[in-house]
Amino acid sequence: MLVTPLSGWGRYPVQSCEVERPERYADLYSDAASVIARGQGRSYGDAALNENRRVLLTERVNRLLELDADNGVLRAEAGVTLAEILEVIAPHGWFLPVTPGTKFVSLGGCVAADVHGKNHHHDGSFGDHVAAIELILADGSRVACSPAENAELFRATLGGMGLTGIIGEVTLRLIPIASSHMMVRHHAAADLEQLFQHLQNPALDDRYTVAWIDSMAGGAQLGRGIAMCGHHAAKEELPVGLSLSSFNSEELAGGRSRKKHARAIPFDFPAWMMNPFSIGAFNAFYYRREGKRQQPFLTGYDSYFYPLDAIGQWNRMYGKRGFVQYQCVIPDATAFDGIKALLQELSGSHRPSFLAVLKRLGAQGRGLLSFPMAGYTLALDLPIRDDGLFALLDRLDETVLRHGGRVYLAKDARLSAESFRAMYPRYGEWLKIKNAVDPQNRFSSSLSRRLRIGEELS
């Protein structure tokens, strides 16, 4: 056991945890009074922290167990990363059904946070493609969960933030691809209204659709941005000479190729580097450059799905104090007003968000604590420079609640227990299942204590 300070990807908060790192599947268990599994530590806040209590690293229990290359079904241990999975499945013509914005996450983390991608409005969340899970319970027993078997526990585990047990194995249904290339189109929008129109327009929409927002633009330009729409390139879309069997995303002729992990941020940037001027200048440049790419172009899946993975340790850009990623969803009916109110609040706060991303989400899925619901989701990266940020975020919570939305727990580091309960109406249902499998609340984390999840247990 190792006692060491840990943090999530946002590097806030930093907490001392008792860390264990099993190497055998049979050792993927702890008899500690409080334990939480941690994969790659890519949740942003305190979901994979357990202050002064046990954290079980799953990174060494990461074996690929079975690939049905005819039907596209993969079974693997939960510690494996999406990057490792892609390396194996893409050459067979398969792809992840849903992928978050980084491939350096664990498979178990994707289930625990029931992550979504740019295709949620078409394909649902990660959990919609999980055929089965092997869950390790508080007494050490292993139980198979699927939509057919232990279905309630399955629903509580999708998006359950690791609080129902340790996710040991995952069976995932993959999607077929004809090549490793993406066909992408950009559509610039001068303001938020136009951006919403782009996202709603079936003529522009594609399997993967995401909008980048210039978070520094205010006034008449509030919410200006670029809708980026793409799909896995079909055979007939590939230029002659580009081998169909070329599944190496890095070798794309004509696209922006680069080496894996070509660069890493070597040290913490000083906090002042991310200021309204530098971010404003970058955004204006980005808007002009990327907004021009209205003709479809080919690019590798890495540069489309994982642009930030090319910069190792990019979280260091936000300085030593770290940052908070604030991601919320607002239901369709109130989405435009809600997102506009959030952007106005942000724009008036003079707190620059380097990253602002808007996406459509489809219907709510099976996971009882899952984040997605039909509507629009906004994600903001906000560096922590002073405690004033937290007051702003509390105001954003109020705006989100007023519009019937919710905040994403995988990104969260500061939501209140009351707001959580208001945002996640299926919590009561979840709690009954938790009570049945873990009445002593052994699976708990800094996040679960902060949100007082499980305190109602008998």
Partner 1 sequence: MSEAVLILGATSAIARATAAAFAARGAALYLASRDLDELERISADLHLRHGVEVRYGLFDAEATETHEAFLQAVIKAMPDLSGVVVAFGYLGDQQAARDFKLGAKVIASNFTGAASILSYCANYFEPLKHGFIIGISSVAGDRGRQSNYVYGAAKGALSLYLQGLRNRLFASGVRVITVKPGFVDTAMTFGLPGLFLVASPQAIGERIARALDKSADVVYLPWFWRYIMLIIQHIPEPIFKRLKL
Residues of this chain that bind partner 1 (CB under 8 A)? 1-2, 19, 21-26, 60, 63-67, 77, 84, 87-88
How far is the first Cα of the chain from the last one, in angstroms, to the nearest whole number?
31
What SS3 class is residue 322?
coil
In the complex, least distance from residue 60 CB atom to partner 1, rounded to whole angstroms: 7
- Comparison of 75 and 321: residue with beta carbon closer to partner 1: 75
- Comparison of 61 and 153: residue with beta carbon closer to partner 1: 61
In the complex, least distance from residue 65 CB atom to partner 1, rounded to whole angstroms: 5
- Comparison of 19 and 422: residue with beta carbon closer to partner 1: 19
How many CB atoms are located within 10 Å of the residue 93 CB? 18
In the complex, least distance from residue 448 CB atom to partner 1, rounded to whole angstroms: 25
In the complex, least distance from residue 310 CB atom to partner 1, rounded to whole angstroms: 21
Phi, psi (deg, nearest 5) at residue 406:
-150, 165
| DSSP one-letter code for 106 | B
- Comparison of 51 and 77: residue with beta carbon closer to partner 1: 77
H/E stretch holding 433 reads: helix 427-437
- Comparison of 66 and 394: residue with beta carbon closer to partner 1: 66
Tokens read off for 456? 């109602």
Residue 272 makes CB contacts below 8 A (sequence gap 6+) with: none
DSSP string, 189-215: ESSHHHHHHHHH-TTT--SEEEEEE-T
Asked whether 116 and 101 are in contact (CB, 8 A), the reply is no
- Comparison of 24 and 259: residue with beta carbon closer to partner 1: 24
Asked whether 48 and 79 are in contact (CB, 8 A), the reply is no
In the complex, least distance from residue 348 CB atom to partner 1, rounded to whole angstroms: 48
Asked whether 331 and 374 are in contact (CB, 8 A), the reply is yes
The angle that helices 192-200 and 332-349 make with each other, rounded to 10 degrees, is 150
Measure the CA–CA gap between 219 and 154, rounded to whole angstroms: 46
Asked whether 208 and 119 are in contact (CB, 8 A), the reply is yes
- Comparison of 2 and 308: residue with beta carbon closer to partner 1: 2
Tell which residue, 132, 160, 159, 156, has the closest CA to residue 145.
132
- Comparison of 41 and 45: residue with beta carbon closer to partner 1: 41
- Comparison of 167 and 451: residue with beta carbon closer to partner 1: 167
- Comparison of 10 and 22: residue with beta carbon closer to partner 1: 22
In the complex, least distance from residue 312 CB atom to partner 1, rounded to whole angstroms: 15
What SS3 class is residue 112?
helix
- Amino acid identity, position 176: P
Handedness of CA 342, 344, 347, 349 (dihedral sign): negative
Tokens read off for 285? 């440049």
In the complex, least distance from residue 100 CB atom to partner 1, rounded to whole angstroms: 22
**Residue position matching structure tokens 């979504």:** 116
Asked whether 419 and 401 are in contact (CB, 8 A), the reply is yes
In the complex, least distance from residue 138 CB atom to partner 1, rounded to whole angstroms: 22
Q: Are strands 54-57 and 14-20 parallel, antiparallel or unpaired?
A: parallel
* Burial category of 50 from C-beta neighbours within 10 Å (exposed 0-12, middle 13-18, buried 19 and up): buried
In the complex, least distance from residue 28 CB atom to partner 1, rounded to whole angstroms: 11
- Comparison of 95 and 323: residue with beta carbon closer to partner 1: 95
The three-point CA angle 449-127-114 to 5° equals 30
In the complex, least distance from residue 76 CB atom to partner 1, rounded to whole angstroms: 8
What SS3 class is residue 225?
strand
- Comparison of 82 and 380: residue with beta carbon closer to partner 1: 82
